[in-house]
Amino acid sequence: MSKKLGGKENMYFLSTRGNNEKITASQAIIKGLSTDKGLYVPSSFKNLSEELKNLVDLDYKQLAYVILKEFLTDYSEEELKYCIESAYDEKFDTEKIAPISKVGDDYILELYHGPTCAFKDMALTIMPYLLKTAIEKNNLQEEVVILTATSGDTGKAALEGFSDVDKIKIVVFFPENGVSAIQKLQMKTTKGLNTCVVGINGNFDDAQTGVKNIFADEDFNKELKEKGYILSSANSINMGRLLPQVVYYFYAYLQLVKENEISLGDKVNFVVPTGNFGNILAGYFAKQMGLPVNKFVCASNDNNVLYDFFTTGVYNKNRELKLTTSPSMDILISSNLERLLFEISGRDAEKVNELINNLNTKGVYEIDQNMKDNLSSFYGGYATEEVVKDTIKEVFDKYGYLLDTHTAVAYSCYEKYVEDTKDLTKTVIVSTASPYKFSKDVLNSISSVDDSLDDFEIIDKLSDVSNTKIPGPIKTLKDLEIRHNITCEKDELKSEIIKFLGK
């Protein structure tokens, strides 16, 4: 039998809402959400600050093993290496997996070199292997049904990762009018007999709330179990999604050390375009593990609920959701913020329950002064639609570098941060998607768009105007067959699941 990972004490996972459940990593990955509706968090964080000097020359896969073995302690060395090797291979168009480009004096961490051209690939290429291994480890007899709400990118990345994986089915719900044309086409052309894609007449928060309610519906879950199914999630509420994202924060830092841009031990800033708060939370986890981070700039678009939270300590979802050119951030309920509340409250589950209850009943909560003081690692910023458009043009004209709309939000928030704080710490801007996923809005920022052009003609024009290469997965989209064409109302999610499983 293969040797288990980790140190003397195995890691376990507990709920942010304090039901005293202590489960293994593989069990947390299967379940996704705790039975008390809380989110799982690691029992502790291993401090790797003294080991950083030994990690500088590791490639992405080697580093992923070093980081993930500290969390996934019930996976054997052989199992974990199998998952990592299977994920980070030729599916990515660069051996570096997550390269850094220097743009002016700043650094852009490109997380869009995977099969769906978005940062979600960084975790959703490995999660199917982690889950498949977990199913085998726990001798699970039921088939796992992955249930996912997406604001655009998670959906396709999850569908791609789980397509035709044995003992797993996947159902993805997305807002029919709340994603880009390319995002929608990527999902609707997905292959795999175990995949189901449904557009809902509503926004992302409707989709996410519907999915959460299904997880919490005991009768429905019992009905599914009787039919041989259990539910899990591929959203960042699942530890199998969140933990692999910790790796690229370490990798970005170590690349800067290796390239002599910083010295080992120097602090850096990370600027993260943020919707559901999973990506930036993974960075916070990296800091908890000893990564030298000065500040996380949480960048929002016009849906600036997180900006208000970091500025005032008040989280208020009672506002209209705006559809923007950065649709993956069009979110008013940032699920992963609950995990941050747990940490900044001193892991006080009672306090977390009180805050989440206020959010669910009144749509608003305010954290106390002690929790506000514990937010010193964060700075909130937001960018309007006009600023996003201007930023894409400014960066392209000045540096010849093409930003997507989400990364432009981050870039402009960073400019405001420097203006506001005069902080000149070396900074990494986290780039979450290829500009070609949002080609119409990107082209409209640097040139003009002829309304008679179709989506693929726009992509070709963007390539010509910017002198950049169209990513392979997007270039081949126009030749793919539409396989999913279902839409439903926001209260019909359960019936669509039943229809799919009844096939």
363: left (phi over 0), alpha (psi -120 to 50) or beta: left
**Strand pairing category for 378-382 and 293-300:** parallel
Neighbours of 322 (CB within 10 A): 13
pLDDT score, position 151: 84
pLDDT score, position 451: 87
> What token pair was written down for 356?
């989440």
183 pLDDT exceeds 80? Answer: yes
Evaluate whether 154 touches 235 at the Cβ level (below 8 Å). yes
Residue 16 lies in a domain: no
Evaluate whether 154 touches 179 at the Cβ level (below 8 Å). no
pLDDT digits (tens, 9 = 90+) for 79-115: 999 999 999 999 999 999 999 999 999 999 999 999 9
Evaluate whether 178 touches 275 at the Cβ level (below 8 Å). no
> What token pair was written down for 490?
């926001």
1 pLDDT exceeds 50? Answer: no
pLDDT score, position 3: 43
CA nearest 154: which of 400, 374, 327, 390?
A: 327
The neighbouring-strand residues paired with 430 are: 109
pLDDT score, position 153: 84
Query: Would you state the torsion angle of the CA atoms of residues 178, 403, 337, 124, taken in this order, to the nearest 10 degrees?
Result: 80
Residue 193 lies in a domain: no
Residues 46-53, mean pLDDT to the nearest whole number: 97
> What token pair was written down for 58?
């590791």
Residue 493 lies in a domain: no
Confidence of residue 9 (pLDDT cuts 50, 70, 90): low
- Domain, as residue range, for 388: 100-117+240-436
Residues 154-172, mean pLDDT to the nearest whole number: 94
Percent of the chain with pLDDT over 90: 92
Residues 428-450, mean pLDDT to the nearest whole number: 96
Confidence of residue 2 (pLDDT cuts 50, 70, 90): very low
pLDDT digits (tens, 9 = 90+) for 339-362: 999 999 999 999 999 999 999 999
Residue 415 lies in a domain: yes
Residues 39-64, mean pLDDT to the nearest whole number: 98
pLDDT digits (tens, 9 = 90+) for 363-408: 999 999 999 999 999 999 999 999 999 999 999 999 999 999 999 9
Confidence of residue 197 (pLDDT cuts 50, 70, 90): very high
Number of domains in the chain: 1
Please, which residues have CB within 8 angstroms of residue 244's CB and are 6 or more apart in sequence? 64, 68, 87, 122, 123, 126, 127
pLDDT score, position 124: 95
CA distances from 42 to 123, 248, 288, 474 (A): 17, 18, 11, 37
Please, which residues have CB within 8 angstroms of residue 5's CB and are 6 or more apart in sequence? 69, 70, 72, 73, 74, 75, 76, 77, 80
> What token pair was written down for 416?
């405001």
Say which CATH number the domain at 345 has: 3.40.50.1100
201 pLDDT exceeds 90? Answer: yes
pLDDT digits (tens, 9 = 90+) for 262-277: 999 999 999 999 999 9
pLDDT score, position 28: 97
pLDDT digits (tens, 9 = 90+) for 210-234: 998 999 899 999 999 999 999 999 9
143 pLDDT exceeds 50? Answer: yes
Residue 250 lies in a domain: yes
Residue 380 lies in a domain: yes
Residue 494 lies in a domain: no
